[in-house]
Amino acid sequence: MIGLFDVLSFLRKKEPASGSVAKDRLKLVLVHDRANCSSQVLEMLKGDIIKVISNYMEIDEDELDINITQTRSEDNNGTVPVLYANIPIKSMKRKSS
């Protein structure tokens, strides 16, 4: 499946038309605007998540990626905002007790 997709996109080669790019960018901007979630709030959230997870495992803080994006909702064909987090683990902490 993935192989076929790669071949197809290779054959196409062309960048997507700017109209589609604009639409995608706009959708993402509005997800943030409507969620009323500023980058400061996101930074605070990021800090809290690091604090909590660090109690259990050692994570790579520099590579940590947290974002609000959107995904297709399961009920209908619309989209819903999701909190996306990619947190690379360096090592698991052993319980000291």
Partner 1 sequence: MGEVIVVTSGKGGVGKTTTSANIGCGLAVSGKKVALVDADIGLRNLDVVMGLENRIVYDLVDVVEGKCKLKQALIKDKRYAGLYLLPAAQTRDKDAVSPEQMKKLCENLKEEEFDYIIIDCPAGIEQGFKNAIAGADRALVVTTPEVSAVRDADRIIGLLEANELNDPSLILNRVRTDMVEKNEMMSMDDVTEILAVDIIGVVPDDESIVIQTNKGEPAVTVESSKAGQAFRNITRRIMGEEVPFMDLKEDDSFFTKLKKLFKK
Select the residue interacting with partner 1 from 23, 72, 90, 93 (CB under 8 A). Answer: 23
Which contiguous run of DSSP H or E holds residue 31?
helix 18-35
Q: With binding defined as CB under 8 A, does residue 30 bind partner 1? A: yes
CB closer to partner 1, 80 vs 89: 80
* Min CB(18)–partner 1 separation in Å: 5
* Min CB(67)–partner 1 separation in Å: 18
CB closer to partner 1, 27 vs 90: 27
Classified as helix, coil or strand, 9 is helix
Query: How far, in Å, CA of 23 to CA of 30, rounded?
Result: 11
Structure tokens, 54: 């660090």
C-beta of residue 31 within 8 angstroms of C-beta of residue 68? yes
Structure tokens, 29: 């901007």
CB closer to partner 1, 62 vs 75: 75
